[in-house]
Amino acid sequence: MTGNAKVQHDVPLESLTRLKPLKLGRHYHKIPQFIKELAAKHPRIVSDYFLGNYRINLEFNKAEVHEGREQEAECIYHSAFGRVGFAIDRCLLTEVLECYYGGSRLPNQSEPPISVSEQRMRTRLGRDIAQLFARSILGGATLGELTCYENAYDETQWEYVAEFQYTSHISNKQSSIFIYLDTHLVDELTSRMAKPVANQAAVNPLEQIKHLPVRLNCVVAALQMPLSEVLGLRLGDIVTVRLQERCDVMINQQKLFRGTIFEDGGSLLLTSLESVKKP
């Protein structure tokens, strides 16, 4: 026999590519790369959420998209576009609970059974992070109202599972957050990706400028010290400062408005005390 054989013997099953008829001729193959590119383009979306709400600084490592996962989604929500699932590594969930409610677990203590507070926190995180994920992949739109979906007789078929890996600056542990996408939600993504791109020339440049991201700087405390005392500071020294009652909010060192800091539900918030000055 000459040439390439048409029958390949002893080929491992995992090396074969399975074709799904519903994916043929559609943009399903672009979904994983699309999610990875958005995660690399906006790495601080979820990190800023944890920092602002739970004072946990997470460093984004990478994003992976899987066609399946052995572990089932811990929370399933029903939306206008389809079902979305959520799961989070327990080490990160425990860290969120400790920062939100206070207290800590001993290093050698075994993991306690899942509590009601842990279940509530997981459900809350699932809703918030799913909406953040939706805004990035749907161009600013949300999934609408998310309601918990519980049906023991209907097994949800997930098309893709997006995994986002982070490292906590508090515990130095790496953990992952998982977003499950069902067929209907993936169909919505593929239909949006198949739509022709709008003519950029017809868009008003001023409207485009309004959508540019800007960084707001707010100095909440300031202290004047002699240079000799500054040079004499050592690790562990405590410097007494007082929060300013009024603080300037600036963009690129240009004052935008004056505001004040207050606490609500364990989170620090900034409110404006005057109208925003137009440039």
pTM of the entire predicted model: 0.63
- 117, 98 in Cβ contact below 8 A? no
- Concatenated DSSP letters of 177-231: EEEEEEHHHHHHHHHHHHSPPP-GGGS-HHHHHHTS----EE--------HHHHH
Q: Are residues 222 and 188 in the same domain?
A: no
Residues 78-131: tens digit of each pLDDT: 998 889 999 999 999 999 998 888 765 544 455 667 788 899 999 999 999 999
Q: Are residues 152 and 39 in the same domain?
A: yes
Query: In the prediction, which pLDDT does 268 show?
Result: 72
The whole-number average pLDDT for the span 170-175 is 91
Domain CATH number, residue 258 = 2.30.330
Query: Looking at the predicted structure, is the pLDDT value of residue 278 above 80?
Result: no
- 87, 66 in Cβ contact below 8 A? no
What is the distance between the alpha carbons of residues 105 and 233, in angstroms, rounded to a whole number?
Answer: 33
- 61, 47 in Cβ contact below 8 A? no
What is the distance between the alpha carbons of residues 243 and 26, in angstroms, rounded to a whole number?
Answer: 56
**50 CB-near residues (< 8 Å, 6+ apart):** 56, 57, 58, 96
Range of the domain at 193: 26-198
The model's confidence at residue 198, banded by pLDDT at 50, 70 and 90, is low
In a domain, 140, yes or no: yes
What is the total count of domains within the chain?
2
Q: Are residues 142 and 227 in the same domain?
A: no
The whole-number average pLDDT for the span 185-200 is 70
Residues 212-233: tens digit of each pLDDT: 777 888 888 888 889 998 898 8
In a domain, 121, yes or no: yes
Q: Are residues 104 and 40 in the same domain?
A: yes
In a domain, 118, yes or no: yes
In a domain, 279, yes or no: no
Query: In the prediction, which pLDDT does 27 show?
Result: 59
The whole-number average pLDDT for the span 17-21 is 54
Positive or negative, the CA dihedral 15, 21, 24, 30 is: negative
In a domain, 120, yes or no: yes
What is the distance between the alpha carbons of residues 269 and 249, in angstroms, rounded to a whole number?
Answer: 13
In a domain, 207, yes or no: no
Q: Are residues 225 and 163 in the same domain?
A: no
The whole-number average pLDDT for the span 62-90 is 92
Q: Are residues 86 and 178 in the same domain?
A: yes
In a domain, 60, yes or no: yes
Which of 141, 170, 198 is the C-terminal boundary of a domain? 198
**56 CB-near residues (< 8 Å, 6+ apart):** 50, 95, 96, 99, 168, 169, 170
In a domain, 208, yes or no: no
- 257, 275 in Cβ contact below 8 A? yes
Which of 142, 163, 198 is the C-terminal boundary of a domain? 198
DSSP run (H or E) holding 137: helix 116-137
Query: In the prediction, which pLDDT does 263 show?
Result: 75
Distances (CA, A) of 214 to 125, 209, 217, 225, 256: 26, 10, 10, 31, 12
